[in-house]
């Protein structure tokens, strides 16, 4: 039987990508994300799904036979693969049958295991199968290879997938303005040599023409130094899953004679990926100490990290740079920030106005007189970056995904399919796909 593939999620949303490729009775499914869809009923921290069935029956998860708990048993002919650890690519994993192998890069495996131990991880043993970058994993008629791309978390991968009659490339999430643009560039070169029939590429920032209005990863440190010089109290949020960024924080506090204060979770992940970390590198905020997992408490003890509470931070505004993630905003009550304090938002939840907590974050900051300053750097390439990659890879067909406006992505001489949810595509769909006209592309990007 010839190869066919179906997109089960992540077409007109940022994340939630689930693509199933079938060939000769074998099935490869990559990414298992969960996202909020603007038009669907949502679950939240209070309104919880009882099982995968609740997610499926509300449109928040696909029906995939033999994958989720309660389905028929795993048949040995299904393999999952993950591009990276972000929740919009892994959020359905808690519902997956634990015996199904899940192909991951070594750093993705490391991060998933670390999250299981110390934070909002899945806390359930899953059957991860680590595969070094560049090594081919054979699975029935499939040959699968992971290769690194630059994104804002360790282990992020693109995938090259081959069956007897189709060559496929999945970009995962990627950027060219991070600290490792060569990873993304090398992926594009490798994908180009692979001569894919289809390229699934992310278009998160399809409305952004270029990177003129964003901070690049290397811009964060100077922006922080400038901001910290003029701030009294200084607080921040970021993704603890991006431990490499902590180096920018450490350099910025050094340049401004402050001390970095991290949550224990962030310290643990930094220590895991960038450590080992000496006891005087930073202080830990002790406000959430009662929630530390045994592994976290053990690491704090082993490293001899010192703690400080929000009460002890009061009145010493200019001495510190304090991580205050959303769940710890209540610490502002004890800190009582001085006038002229700033909150540096460097990604992390809530991410933006599409999240319910966004307004509340701003209310907390306004009430305590703290100025909001965005100092983050996105993990996603601009439209021109994505177009540059498409041109270089030169697939037979490009399918833009992982985007609120996938129609903005495309070039006039490369065939494009704007994918339809649940449709089974075959080689003949790819052979007959047409190129978007320049007028069509211009209209999509008219604003
Ligand atoms: Zn994503
Ligand atoms: Zn991501």
Q: What is the pLDDT of residue 121?
A: 64
* Structure tokens belonging to residue 209: 């023409």
CA distances from 366 to 71, 263, 359, 435, 446 (A): 49, 23, 11, 50, 36
Distance 317 CA to ligand 1 centre (A): 36
SS (H, E, C) 53-116: HHHHHCCCCCCCCCCECCCCCCCCCEEEECCCCCHHHHCCHHHECCCCEEEECHHHHHHHHHHH
Other residues' Cβ atoms within 10 Å of the Cβ of residue 27: 22
- 447 residues of the chain, pLDDT tens digit each: 699 999 999 998 989 999 999 999 999 999 999 987 888 898 988 899 999 999 999 999 999 999 999 999 999 999 999 999 999 999 999 999 999 999 999 999 999 999 999 986 666 789 999 999 999 999 999 999 999 999 999 999 999 999 999 999 999 999 999 999 999 999 999 999 999 999 999 999 999 999 999 999 999 999 999 999 999 999 999 999 999 999 999 999 999 999 999 999 999 999 999 999 999 999 999 999 999 999 999 999 999 999 999 999 999 999 999 999 999 999 999 999 999 999 999 998 898 887 879 999 999 999 999 999 999 999 999 999 999 999 999 999 999 999 999 999 999 999 999 999 999 999 999 999 999 999 999 999 998
Distance 35 CA to ligand 1 centre (A): 9
H/E stretch holding 203 reads none
Which candidate, 374, 357, 338, places its Cα nearest to that of 46?
357
| Residue 329 DSSP symbol | G
Distance 280 CA to ligand 2 centre (A): 32
Rounded Cα distance, 375 and 220, in Å: 6
Q: What is the pLDDT of residue 356?
A: 79
Any long-range contacts for 8-11 (C-beta under 8 Å, 24+ apart)?
8/62, 8/64, 8/421, 8/422, 9/33, 9/35, 9/61, 9/62, 9/421, 10/35, 10/88, 10/401, 10/402, 11/401, 11/406, 11/419, 11/420, 11/421
Cβ contact 369:339 at 8 Å: yes
Q: How far is CA 418 from the centre of its chain?
A: 23
Rounded Cα distance, 204 and 191, in Å: 20
Among the bound ligands, the one closest to the CA of 85: 2
Distance 31 CA to ligand 2 centre (A): 11
H/E stretch holding 392 reads helix 383-393
Q: How far is CA 46 from the centre of its chain?
A: 24
Beta bridge mates, 28: 21, 79
Domain positions in the chain: 4-209+380-444, 217-374
- Residues whose beta carbons lie less than 5 angstroms from ion ligand 1: 15, 88, 173
Positive or negative, the CA dihedral 131, 134, 135, 141 is positive
Residue 321, C-beta contacts closer than 8 angstroms, at least 6 positions apart: 224, 228, 234, 235, 236, 249, 252, 253, 256, 258, 259, 260, 261
- Pairing mode, strands 198-202 and 397-401: parallel
Domain 217-374, CATH class in plain words: alpha beta
Beta bridge mates, 259: 320
Residue 447, C-beta contacts closer than 8 angstroms, at least 6 positions apart: 207
Rounded Cα distance, 399 and 395, in Å: 10
Distance 88 CA to ligand 2 centre (A): 7
Distance 288 CA to ligand 2 centre (A): 27
Distance 115 CA to ligand 1 centre (A): 18
Q: What is the pLDDT of residue 132?
A: 98
Among the bound ligands, the one closest to the CA of 241: 2
Rounded Cα distance, 388 and 206, in Å: 13
Question: Quick check: bond before 34 cis, omega within 30?
Answer: no
* Superfamily (CATH H level) for 4-209+380-444: Ribonuclease Z/Hydroxyacylglutathione hydrolase-like (3.60.15.10)
Among the bound ligands, the one closest to the CA of 155: 2
Distance 335 CA to ligand 1 centre (A): 35
Distance 183 CA to ligand 1 centre (A): 17
Q: What is the pLDDT of residue 122?
A: 63
Distance 173 CA to ligand 2 centre (A): 5
Rounded Cα distance, 58 and 49, in Å: 10
């Amino acid at each position: 039987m010839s190869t066919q593939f179906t997109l089960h999620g992540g077409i007109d949303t940022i994340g939630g990508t689930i693509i199933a490729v079938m060939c000769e009775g074998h099935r490869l499914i990559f990414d298992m994300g969960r996202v909020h869809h603007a038009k669907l009923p949502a679950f939240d921290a209070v309104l919880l799904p009882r099982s995968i069935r609740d997610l499926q029956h509300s449109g928040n998860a696909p029906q995939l036979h033999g994958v989720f708990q309660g389905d028929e048993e795993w048949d040995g002919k299904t393999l999952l693969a993950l591009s990276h650890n972000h929740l919009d690519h892994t959020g359905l994993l808690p519902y997956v049958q634990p015996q199904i192998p899940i192909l991951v890069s070594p750093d993705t495996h490391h991060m998933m295991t670390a999250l299981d131990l110390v934070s909002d991880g899945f806390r359930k043993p899953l059957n991860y199968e680590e595969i070094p970058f560049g090594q081919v994993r054979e699975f029935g008629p499939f040959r699968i290879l992971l290769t690194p791309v630059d994104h804002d978390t360790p282990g992020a991968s693109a995938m090259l997938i081959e069956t007897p009659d189709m060559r496929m490339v999945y970009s995962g999430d990627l950027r060219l303005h991070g600290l490792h643009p060569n990873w993304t560039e090398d992926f594009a070169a490798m994908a180009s040599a692979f001569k894919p029939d289809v390229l699934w590429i992310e278009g998160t920032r399809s409305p952004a023409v270029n990177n003129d209005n964003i901070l690049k990863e290397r811009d964060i440190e100077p922006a922080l130094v400038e901001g910290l010089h003029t701030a009294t109290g200084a607080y921040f949020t970021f993704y603890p899953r991006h431990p490499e960024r902590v180096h920018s924080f450490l350099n910025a506090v050094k340049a401004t004679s402050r001390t970095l204060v991290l949550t224990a979770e962030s310290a643990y992940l930094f220590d895991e990926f960038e450590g080992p970390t000496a006891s005087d590198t930073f202080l830990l905020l002790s406000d959430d100490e009662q929630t530390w997992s045994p592994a976290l408490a053990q690491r704090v003890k082993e490293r001899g990290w010192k703690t400080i509470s929000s009460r002890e931070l009061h009145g010493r505004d200019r001495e510190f740079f304090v991580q205050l993630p959303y769940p710890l905003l209540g610490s502002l009550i004890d800190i009582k920030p001085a006038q002229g304090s700033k909150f540096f938002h460097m990604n992390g939840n809530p991410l933006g106005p599409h999240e319910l907590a966004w307004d509340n974050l701003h209310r907390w900051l306004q009430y305590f007189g703290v100025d909001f300053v965005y100092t983050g750097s996105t993990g996603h390439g601009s439209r021109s970056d994505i177009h540059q990659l498409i041109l270089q890879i030169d697939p037979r067909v490009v399918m833009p995904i992982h985007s609120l406006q996938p129609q903005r992505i495309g070039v006039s001489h490369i065939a494009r399919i704007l994918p339809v949810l649940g449709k089974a595509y075959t080689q003949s769909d790819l052979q007959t796909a047409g190129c978007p006209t320049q007028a069509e592309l211009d209209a999509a990007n008219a604003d």
